[in-house]
Amino acid sequence: MLKCIVWSLLMAGGLSAGCASVCRAQEVSPRQLLEVADIASPTVSPDGRSVAYRVEQASVARNTYDTVWYVQGLGDPLPQRVADGGVPLRDSAGQSLAPKVLWAPDSRWIYYRALVDGRIVVWRAAADGSRAEPVTHDAADVRDFALGKDGRVLKYSVGATRAQVRDAERSEYDEGIHIDASVPIGQGLFRSGFVGGRMATQRFSKVWFDRLPLLADVPDRWYEINLATGARRAAKGPAKPAASAPAPSASGVVGDPWKVAVDPAAGRTAWLTRVGDRKGQQQRPDILLSALLRANGGRAVRCTAAACTAKAITAIQWRPEHDEVLFTITDSRRGLAQSIFRWNVRTGEVLDVVSSPGLVNGGRDPAWNCGTSPRTLVCVTAAADRPPRLESVNLESGEQHVLFDPNARLAQDMAAAVPARLLQWQDRQGRWFSGQFYPAQRKSRGPAPLFITYYSCPGFVRGGVGDEWPLASLAQAGISSLCINRRPGYTMDAVKRYGEGMAAAKGAVDLLAGKGEIDRTRVGMGGLSFGAEVTMWTIAHSDLLAAASVATPVLSPFYYVIGSIKGKDFRKGLRELWGLGAPGETPQRWRALSPVFQLDRIHAPILFQHAEQEYMYALDYEIPLVREQRADLYVFPNEPHQKFQPRHKLAVYNRNLDWFRFWLQGYEDPDPAKAEQYTRWRAMREKAGKGRGLTVQD
């Protein structure tokens, strides 16, 4: 269904009503959730008449992602397909990066970076769809680019050449890889991770477990191309922005700097800074919005209106040709719903522009900005049961108009089959939480089972952080599903941090069970990263769960051994975020936090589905659980922190659906291909029924 709609656009440049009617879905399947069309980087043309944006969609059949650039007139009913966007570029955690697109000053061309045929180059596409061509032809991949003010020159930067990187990899392979603090042990050491669309050898960066390719430390080399003649020459220095931001403290702005926005035309600056008492939090709790009235400095003014005081402001940008800063509030009490306001920096007046039950921004990341012109915002909107679509918003009236909706049929199916509702509750300490709740649709006698995932649930919720649990499909199968948002901030004490997450889950179960909506004896839980930590904590410190699914490793002595190769930065992070030294240095703290020392407390069966880059971190507690038939473990090759290969993600979705249906409903899929997994799971259930447990020696 969805595939039909999107491909009719790609092939014909417009929506096909006939295809939409033929391809209507009968249910919301895991594959449909995976193959949602995502929209990113809406950018309005200089003349204010058109918007460029990119659509990205998974293809399970080809185990890849299709991306297409569109240009659409703000008054046009359909977009114009202008170019293939290439293979999506990703960060080392597996998340798709926001594509950068620049308009030519005359609004006739868009420029963008794309990975095509194994090369990352700058392309340009005519806004009328008549032509798309590469602009750069360097032997190295393009790292960044910028257009000159008049649009006649393109500057771009490169590092080591592709051949140099491959030669360095091959040389290491032939000579042996020297293990030092930069080598990510615990994964394959030669070409074991995707970088720039190919399998590449990786190294740790300076940021926690972030990874980079070999020779990433080669300094940028800048070049410029005359776009009329194609002549290329070395540039004297990196491309510089039209205006640079002064330090906020120099303008009288207090607090810890967080975000900055520079008016590209007038050179004025706006800041978000963090203020207030940390009180055991990693960051200060409140946000201050400030701005300069003039580009040449002076004292900044503060936004003191009620709409921007003690609010969770998450994004800022200048409104072109106006004395206004547009700011976005992301409200955790309303399930991370977003609203956009405009603040006049001269008068102090704040007016609301648009409010949404979900995201209203530039794509999947809540921090991305809408495209903007003097009169109009162009935003990607998405809600818990409403997949992404593109809308224009009149900045004066707030009137909204749908420009492009590639997921229209899925939206109708979600609304009819598995509508979500915002859930709000307090735990026993009075702390407020919110989550997106999908009630079970196949009712059986009595209350339904419940599945919970914990961390963050912005926009269209497919499977929680990391997209591992198909919430709508679980609900259709008769298992109510809840995605819980963690509270704002990051508590530095890990015991309190995990306890807060467990309290959120318990509070939700109390609320729903008290209403007779769910059966508190049949509750499952799953999580990735911080969500995995809270899930494992809840298993070991409560009797809330009947089954669990965990996507990433959590703290263990083996994790310490592998991570300690990074040296003092790793040890510092472990100390600051978890209060841990080496296991022999802080043994009591390790016993309090790591499941290695809590195996006798774990009574719920656990499904581990890990990425190959990380699974070895957890073997010291997962092997005992697997050996004792209390857990099942799958590892996905060549995957980073968040799995992204479509076939892998679909396999994870389907197995999680099978897992929770088995443990919470007693259901087995009759598909013969799944017989082996059910044989294992029945053996686990039989052994659990005998009350046998595992104990470990301290």
CATH code (residue 283): 2.120.10.30
Q: Is 364 helix (H, G, I), strand (E, B) or coil?
A: coil
The predicted model gives 562-584 an average pLDDT of 96
pLDDT at residue 15, rounded to an integer: 35
> What's the rounded Cα separation, in Å, for the pair 479 and 519?
10
- 53 found inside a domain: no
pLDDT at residue 12, rounded to an integer: 36
Query: In the chain, what is the greatest distance between 2 CA atoms, to the nearest angstrom?
Result: 79
Question: pLDDT band for position 86 (50/70/90)?
Answer: very high
- 6 found inside a domain: yes
**CA 352 to each of CA 26, 328, 346: distance values in angstroms, whole numbers, following the listed order:** 39, 10, 17
Question: pLDDT band for position 421 (50/70/90)?
Answer: very high
Kindly report the CATH number assigned to the domain that includes residue 513: 3.40.50.1820
Counting the structural domains of the chain, the total is 5
Same domain? 461 vs 542:
yes
* pTM for the whole structure: 0.94
Does residue 240 carry a pLDDT above 80?
Answer: no
- 536 found inside a domain: yes
Does residue 511 carry a pLDDT above 80?
Answer: yes
Beta pairing partners, 124: 111, 133
Same domain? 654 vs 616:
yes
Amino acid, res. 655? R
- 225 found inside a domain: no
- 146 found inside a domain: no
Q: What is the dihedral of CA 311, 314, 320, 323, to 10 degrees?
A: 30
- 231 found inside a domain: no
Percentage of the chain beyond pLDDT 70 is 94
The predicted model gives 605-622 an average pLDDT of 97
- 72 found inside a domain: no
Same domain? 545 vs 574:
no
For 261-284, how does the pLDDT look when each residue is reduced to its tens digit (9 = 90+)? 999 999 999 999 999 999 999 999
Q: Which domain holds residue 31?
A: 1-35
- Residue 691: other Cβ atoms inside 10 A: 7
Same domain? 564 vs 617:
no
> What's the rounded Cα separation, in Å, for the pair 287 and 284?
8
